[in-house]
Structure 1
Amino acid sequence: MSREIYDEDHEAFRASVKEFLDREVVPHLDDYAASHGLAREFWLAAGKQGYLGLEVPETYGGQIEEGAGDYRFNAVLTEELSKINMTLPSCVGIHADIVAPYLVHLTTEEQKQRWLPRFCSGELLTAIGMTEPGGGSDLANLKTTAVRDGDDWIINGSKTFITNGGSADLVVVAARTSPEKKAKGISLFGVDTTLPGFSVGRVLDKVGQDESDTAELAFEDVRVSNDDLIGPLDTGFISMMQFLPQERLGSAITNLAHAAQILEETIQYAKDRKAFGQPIGSFQHNAFLMAELVTQVEVTQAYVDQCVLKHTRGQLTAVDAAKAKWWTSQMQNDVLDHCVQLHGGYGYMNEYRVARAWRDARVSKIWAGSNEIMKMLIGRDLGF
């Protein structure tokens, strides 16, 4: 299906990303899976190509010219990463697409100079500490606290399911600074992971996405300066709500591109694989099924492309993003389940990409706000 949201510059950028991934990433995927993390060499190489600074002004080492940001480049990068696996857009997205707006739009000039050049180069790897062991999607009720001590803050608490958590150099941490204000008493801090009292707990043993270092984080009397406060005091929850639509749109782009790639490979498999003397794709049931799946993917692509355009223009709403996130994750899991079935017994073997993709995708209905939360947001917008 023809897509009209990208021009020649975007497609040239796509070609450069694909060439980079084929050269620098694909040969090392088994090593990343074995070590449960992306090598620092990957981050430095991605930084050298400019892929980590798509949200950052040139002044601080990024790619945005004065007033010329274009989210479509983020979308292209996410699509190409997603064709390889779900881990790459997850890890790179946390750093370059999710943390970046916090560091660009909420920080002081001193903080920008301190963090952003190394952020863009891959020397400073980041994570975001929102989710807590007892909280899940309920960000307003987080338990981690930051208590003022003179000009400093003392942070205590824990976070879990933190992508890049095992290797991050800087974590954007949401902590309660004014407990009596509830959701309006949360602030954000940039926490250097070398500080005393900060520790990485388990690197979590996940069902899928073996290549990422998803970890538990602990904060025991971690002392940070007031200069590490990101944004105005007690406005952290508002900021998180402001930036969540971009996170959910990035998730939608990932879900769709990942499913589309595996479906394309499955269609080729159905042409090559023979049973009862003919390609399995020629059986009417399978042909009808693949017709349905291709249509689902292409119709979904039309909606997500419109969301990308809206976000590029600053018009994407939280409800638009919620629709895109829940629909694409449901569609992705349905498509990949059928792809596994079409592969037969081979679809259950880890040596086949379809099996790994199926495992990797299941979390997409949970993260970035569960699909149930997305439906609540949509329902609320309908007046319920």
Structure 2
Amino acid sequence: MTTALVRATELVEALEEVVGQASARLAVAPASDDDQTVPYDIASVSSAVAAARHLLDLGPHSEAEADLALLFAADTAADLAGRTAGREALWGLDGTTTALDAVAEHVAAGRAPAFLDTVAERVLAAGGEAAPRHLSDELQLVRSTFRDFAEAKVKPVADAIHAGDADIPDAIVDGLSEMGCFGLSIPAEYGGFAEGGADELLSMVVVTEELSRASLGAAGSLITRPEIIGTAITRGGTEEQRRRWLPLIATGEKLCAVAVTEPNHGSDVGGITTTAVRDGEDWVLNGVKTWCTFAGRANYLLVLARSHPDRAAGHRGLSLFVVEKPSFPGHEWEVTQDGGGSASGRAIRTLGYRGMHSYEVTFDGFRVPADNLIGLDEGLGRGFYLQMQAFANARLQTAARAVGVMQSALELAVDHARQRPVFGHPLTSFQLTRTKLARMAAHIAACRAFTATAARAITAGEGALAAAQVKQLACRAAEWVTREAQQLHGGYGYAEEYAVSRLFVDARVLSIFEGADEVLALRVIARQLAKGGDVEHSNPLRT
């Protein structure tokens, strides 16, 4: 073992001990509406500590990875110290000493400017690559194939799509369809590429990262919706429904969107008010959905609606429907039925994440065939559960999107810092620049390592906690990394003609959708920790 690896190992073990003590506190006093601040901090730190463990597991491969593991663990320890200061008793700590006190020298070593300078030198030499990927030959081929596509088809138009809030070109959607992008997690028997291997979801993660590196709004998010609707149909649909819908989704012949959130019900899914009332051979939908990304181009809308008339039934009164509609370009659309029912959409202007467009969708007496209720009679009242199961994969996919955005930001920062002279010297010659680059690389490496191991855990059916933790951590990290990259660009970083400004505003949405940061921390992570959820990868446990 290198000295860095020894230090990192002891530091991560100490961090895990502290999180274990804090989790025991949660078991006694779980998060509630009256007690949220400390549980949120405990959950957030647990996500970083889990990532530190996964990055540490790569440490034996090389000195570079051992150094990154030490740097990230030291950063996590510093963050933990800030969160516990003055609140030791509320964390379940004794207020005098913790396991971290015994490894204070390791924290100091991992935060020493000279040490960070060494890490930065490697990052600069590698052009912004944080660490080796450790992919199999097959996955490396997948990565290179989609990187080539992203470089040729997505990057050249990404800034124009963002600036003009334009539609995603058909060349991108059709190209990804031909490459099988929309069937990565759909079982092979229904026309997809999922065959049950241990790296099944890792392939989706690799593809997502490479597409998001080119553009979050024009490519990286195209997989998310088929991922969600495909999982819901696979797990909850009848055999006839699987054979009717999944092959068309897998080939990209039918594009997808998800309609869950409402103007007054975001994370509180159980309170949604859009109704579905049975009328003969149809269900009649009435209500308004919002933040329905890609709802214009989509042919299938996955709609969560209240099928039980009693609002008191809460989430037990919700069902999932597949609403079929024509594909529309642009920012507005409407479908009118012969009987007078209608569905319409209006795109919401957003700071970033443009190209796919996020819509407010209104259903007014819109009729849906009874056969389009997922699971038919057995699916009645199961919509909430199917939706939550489907969101587990999407959380993982969102973490991969965050990693792709961060990777792009680091590469742009390295490239600009090399070329930019300041006070007669290259920007890369300044210690603070190198410190920023080193810390950015360590956060990316940790999130990438966690995403990979979480993918395998979810494939094995054990990844509920890991999916929430890696989503929460990676999305928060993406905001910070893109901010640092923009800062290194100086005034140029604020100009829309520089791609780093697009990355910055795109990253901001990541902690909001697919499970808001606070909801994941309090209602998923903290609750799992209180139940004894393992914060290590050996047994890793979305909205």
1:305-329 C-alpha deviation (Å, 9 max, x unpaired): 2212212322212x22221111111
Aligned to 2:439: 292
Letter aligned with residue 317 of structure 2: G
Q: Answer yes or no: is the 8 Å Cα contact 2:301–2:324 preserved in 1.
A: yes
**3-state SS, counterpart of residue 26 of structure 1:** helix
Aligned to 2:62: none
Q: Answer yes or no: is the 8 Å Cα contact 1:89–1:254 preserved in 2.
A: no
1:287-366 equivalences under 5 Å are 287-317=434-464, 319-366=465-512
Aligned to 2:149: 20
Shift of 1:350: 0.6
Name which structure has the greater RCO, CA cutoff 8 Å, separation 6+: 2
Match of 2:520 among 369, 374, 377: 374
CA–CA distance in 1 between the matches of 2:507 and 2:300?
27
**3-state SS, counterpart of residue 10 of structure 1:** helix
Aligned to 1:167: 297
CA–CA distance in 2 between the matches of 1:344 and 1:299?
27
Match of 1:255 among 402, 405, 425: 402
**3-state SS, counterpart of residue 469 of structure 2:** helix
Q: Does 1:190 align with 2:322?
A: yes
Normalising by structure 2, report the TM-score.
Answer: 0.67
Q: Answer yes or no: is the 8 Å Cα contact 2:254–2:299 preserved in 1.
A: yes
CA–CA distance in 2 between the matches of 1:91 and 1:330?
18
Q: Answer yes or no: is the 8 Å Cα contact 2:172–2:219 preserved in 1.
A: no
Name the stretch that deviates more: 349-358 or 190-199.
190-199
1:98-154 C-alpha deviation (Å, 9 max, x unpaired): 222123332223223322232222221110111111111111111111011123211
What is the Cα-based RMSD across aligned positions, in Å? 2.0
CA–CA distance in 2 between the matches of 1:213 and 1:164?
6
Q: Based on CA coordinates, which of the two structures has the bigger radius of gyration?
A: 2
Letter aligned with residue 216 of structure 2: M
CA–CA distance in 2 between the matches of 1:344 and 1:2?
30
Q: Answer yes or no: is the 8 Å Cα contact 1:165–1:200 preserved in 2.
A: no
Shift of 1:281: 1.8
Shift of 1:236: 0.5
Q: Answer yes or no: is the 8 Å Cα contact 1:198–1:219 preserved in 2.
A: yes
Aligned to 1:152: 282
Identity %: 33
Normalising by structure 1, report the TM-score.
Answer: 0.93
1:85-96 equivalences under 5 Å are 85-88=215-218, 91-96=221-226
Shift of 1:69: 7.5
Runs of at least 4 residues of structure 1 off by over 6 A? 66-69
Q: Answer yes or no: is the 8 Å Cα contact 2:229–2:390 preserved in 1.
A: no
1:227-286 C-alpha deviation (Å, 9 max, x unpaired): 000121110011112222211111111112211221122012111111111111211122
Figure out how many residues of one structure are paired with residues of the other and give that number: 382
Q: Answer yes or no: is the 8 Å Cα contact 2:263–2:290 preserved in 1.
A: yes
**3-state SS, counterpart of residue 530 of structure 2:** coil
Shift of 1:371: 0.6
Match of 1:271 among 418, 440, 443: 418
CA–CA distance in 2 between the matches of 1:284 and 1:173?
52
CA–CA distance in 1 between the matches of 2:512 and 2:195?
35
CA–CA distance in 2 between the matches of 1:86 and 1:57?
26
Q: Does 1:126 align with 2:264?
A: no
Shift of 1:82: 1.0
Structure 2 unmatched ranges of 5 or more: 1-130, 327-334, 532-543
Structure 1 unmatched ranges of 5 or more: none
Match of 1:230 among 374, 389, 401: 374
Q: 1:63 to 1:378 in 2, by over 3 A?
A: closer
**3-state SS, counterpart of residue 302 of structure 2:** strand
**3-state SS, counterpart of residue 508 of structure 2:** helix
Shift of 1:66: 7.3
